[in-house]
Structure 1
């Protein structure tokens, strides 16, 4: 799954704006803002997982944690937690108190971190 450079740069810009404004984005809103072509959700998820990998390698808070589901949980999709488990950042089930607590702490870390400008 690949994302165009234009969409990648737009994704980073949206996440930077969300971070600066201290708010979360839904997957649906992000797909609409970026105008991702089909299969939009798969493309977005792949891009967010790639970004999580880059952030983890650089020992930064995971910007992809700013993207959440529209549902009542207000958490990222289960695949996000599978990804962060693979990255060694989280252990446990993708729903429930442990996931919510870890996610809230990660979002707070993202909001406080000063990310370098992307080239």
Structure 2
């Protein structure tokens, strides 16, 4: 894991629940909001920081395995319907995206990544 990534503080059951939620969203070809994930996973406080760290860790694992980034399925409730800025900073560190975290380049890259995630079959990870 890169030095910039937050420390992982998520229990194994919560990690598996996160993977299950993302796999369900992938199969249904749906995006899921951070808020919906927080409500479903019932993470302990600080829940948003824990979720962000887990999503960054998953992005690093997917990037290392040269897979589409499942964390791209998680978006903000804002009108942009894009992930938060931290997601784009993370994927930039991973060498997957270059450019500003908001605007047409980010939206275009995100749409392409989501399409790749929807088409990819992920191996079971425990």
TM-score, with structure 1 as normaliser: 0.99
Runs of at least 4 residues off by over 2 Å: none
Match of 2:54 among 22, 43, 47: 47
Partner residue in 1 for 2:40: 33
Structure 2 residue aligned with 1:90, among 92, 97, 116? 97
Shift of 1:4: 0.4
- TM-score, with structure 2 as normaliser: 0.93
Q: Structure 2: give runs of 5+ residues left out of the alignment.
A: 1-6
* 1:37 CA displacement: 1.2
* Paired positions, count: 119
- 1:72 matched to 2:82: no
Q: 1:118 Cα deviation (Å)?
A: 1.6
Aligned to 2:106: 99
Indicate the RMSD between aligned Cα atoms, in angstroms: 0.6
Residue 111 in structure 1 maps to residue 87 in structure 2: no
Gaps of 5+ in 1: none
SS in structure 2 opposite 1:81?
helix
